[in-house]
């Protein structure tokens, strides 16, 4: 049997007799390593499941006692920005509801599930855009869970305001590329077309650039001002 194995190793793997003997000695060691890794993985999963069950038991006990969870019993994460907490009607009744456009990163933290980091990201995205015009735009905020968005309207009123607009016919390339919906490559094309063909008169003029899709043009449209100044009109 051993000679047959040596012959197979030689014909199929090109092993010499010495290499075949060494490989046979190595096989038990490899099997032990594979078995040990499987045992360690099983033990790790078992400990993780046990830890998670203990966590759930602690949360259930705290909730039954009427205690709100502000800090996770687990040391591995903080639920401040990621865990949806039970909404308190009493809190909503005690505060003055503001239009969402007037909320800053401090008052936004009244919403369960929104901590300092997430509130800061919401305000930064709003300012980069020039203002939210649709509730759906909140889905673009990194770290803001979709299930948290409906809770916001228990504390604030979403108001549609005229967004801050960029003058598409005069805005520099660098400033245009700073808008979240416009990449640097797209901004280069917009400015190059403007320089070659003159000022844009309306949103549909952007569709004359054949590579741009209508849904993207409509998306950026509310944030662009197409009013042609007298200087541009004279050039036209």
Check: CB of residue 226 under 8 Å from CB of residue 200: yes
What is the pLDDT averaged over residues 128-138?
Answer: 95
CA 183 to chain centre: 17
- Does the pTM surpass 0.85? The reply is no
Report the DSSP beta bridge partners of residue 48.
none
Check: CB of residue 34 under 8 Å from CB of residue 40: no
CATH of range 89-157; options 1.10.150, 1.10.287, 3.30.2420, 1.10.155: 1.10.150
User: Is residue 49 over pLDDT 60?
Assistant: yes
Using DSSP's 3-state secondary structure scheme, residue 181 falls into coil
User: Is residue 172 over pLDDT 80?
Assistant: yes
User: Is residue 161 over pLDDT 60?
Assistant: yes
């Amino acid at each position: 049997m051993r000679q047959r194995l040596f012959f197979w190793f030689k014909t199929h793997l090109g092993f010499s007799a010495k290499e075949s003997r060494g490989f046979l000695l190595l096989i038990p060691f490899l099997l032990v390593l594979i078995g040990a890794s499987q045992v360690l993985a099983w033990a790790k999963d078992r400990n993780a499941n046990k830890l998670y069950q203990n966590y759930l038991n602690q949360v259930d006990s705290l909730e039954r006692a009427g205690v709100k969870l502000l800090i996770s019993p687990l040391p591995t994460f903080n639920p401040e920005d990621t865990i949806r907490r039970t909404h308190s009607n009493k809190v909503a009744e005690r505060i003055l509801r503001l239009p969402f456009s007037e909320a800053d990163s401090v008052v936004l933290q009244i919403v369960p599930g929104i901590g300092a980091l997430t509130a800061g990201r919401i305000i930064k995205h709003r300012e980069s855009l020039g203002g939210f015009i649709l509730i759906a735009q909140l889905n673009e905020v990194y770290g803001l869970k979709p299930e948290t968005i409906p809770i916001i309207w228990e504390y604030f009123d979403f108001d549609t305001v005229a967004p801050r607009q960029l003058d598409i016919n005069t805005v520099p390339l660098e400033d245009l590329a700073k808008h979240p919906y416009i990449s640097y490559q797209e901004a280069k094309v917009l400015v190059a077309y403007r320089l070659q063909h003159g000022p844009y008169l309306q949103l549909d003029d952007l569709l004359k650039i054949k590579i741009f899709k209508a849904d993207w043009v409509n998306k950026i449209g509310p944030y662009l001002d197409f009013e042609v100044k007298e200087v541009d009109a004279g050039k036209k």
